[in-house]
Amino acid sequence: MDTFAVHRSDFEQFSTLQLHGFLDAHTAPELEKHFETLISEGRYKIIVNFENLNYISSAGLGVFMGKIENVRNNNGDIKMCKMTPKIFRVFDLLGFPALYDIVDEEERAKFLFEKPSS
Amino acid sequence: MPKKEFEYHLRIPSRTDNLELIREFVSKVAAMVGFNEDDVGKIELACDEACSNVIKHAYENRNGNRRLDVLIRCDLKKFTLIVTDHGKGFDPTKIKMPDMKEYLAELKVGGLGIYLMKTLMDEVDYSIKPGMRNQVKMVKYLINKKNSSAVFVGGNRE
């Protein structure tokens, strides 16, 4: 079953990972690889677009927790956008909105990179 | 009054690529007995966390082919989900519930599965006999659910 896909696009200093399908213990290593590639290329301004993600479990959440420190230590961040209510509920249940910027649109995420206090 | 209780059972190899199938099974039964979309999502995630723990910890192998059983028992009042494995087991008294504020502040990784199960379900109990039979039993109550009258629409055993 091909249940998860990541589409990457780069624009100037930003890299966007668009997630599709189901992010669970089976598919989380795939997302981890994408983060490792970005980090190895020195691309630390990362936007994750959740628009087409249908499901997330703690294995998926663990990928973000596992990378955030490295990314922030390099003056970057992982910003999140376009979450469906179902996905947002899981993030919210665990208090993740206190740790990550979760916004409606990709443009807003880019804006926050440039003006973090806004 | 006849006893209205139903059982649905899925026996499946303990591989992470089967998690999607397990979630589909549990979600469909939960929706059928009358849980709303939000609660179906909670049951689906709790079951995924329990099964992922079995694959990762009890069997220590992402792609093993050990036996994993998911049993759903439901009656007019409650939905019981029992996940059974025959792996290494653990001491449930040693499980610490993470303090999420501290967890996030320290950027910790992992260990959220049981926290989620306990948060998402009304009851979570363990019966651990390492190497023989380990069970996680989770309950979600149906009472006061708007559509609880829809229970057993799909069934016929009385």
Residue-wise pLDDT for B100-139, tens only, equals 888 888 888 888 999 999 999 999 999 988 878 999 999 9
For domain B5-148, the question of CATH label 2.40.110.10 is answered with: no
| A chain contacts of residue B99, beta-carbon cutoff 8 Å | none
What is the token pair recorded at B72?
């759903």
Give the tens place of pLDDT for each residue, A40-86. Answer: 999 999 999 999 999 999 999 999 999 999 999 999 999 999 999 99
Domain boundaries, chain B: 5-148
Nearest CA in chain B to A57: B45
- Report the mean per-residue pLDDT for chain A: 95
Gap between the Cα atoms of B139 and A67, Å rounded: 34
Gap between the Cα atoms of A22 and A18, Å rounded: 12
Gap between the Cα atoms of B24 and B137, Å rounded: 19
What ipTM goes with this model?
0.92
Order of all β-strands in the sheet with B133-141: B5-15, B63-75, B78-85, B133-141, B123-129
Nearest CA in chain A to B37: A86
**Percent of chain B surpassing pLDDT 90:** 59
Nearest to A26 among B17, B104, B108 (CB): B17
Nearest to A3 among B20, B41, B109 (CB): B20
Residue in the block written with tokens 């504020």 = B101
Phi then psi for A61, rounded to 5 degrees?
-60, -35
**Percent of chain B surpassing pLDDT 70:** 87
Instruction: Give B17's DSSP letter.
Output: G
Q: Which domains does chain A have, with CATH numbers?
A: 4-114 (3.30.750.24)
Residues comprising chain A, all counted: 118
A interface mutation test: which of B18, B39, B52 has the most A CBs within 10 A?
B52
The confidence band for B152, taking pLDDT boundaries of 50, 70 and 90, is: very low
Give the tens place of pLDDT for each residue, B22-71. Answer: 999 999 999 999 999 999 999 999 999 999 999 988 887 656 788 999 99
> What is the least distance, in Å, from the CA of A110 to any CA of chain B?
23
| A chain contacts of residue B44, beta-carbon cutoff 8 Å | 55
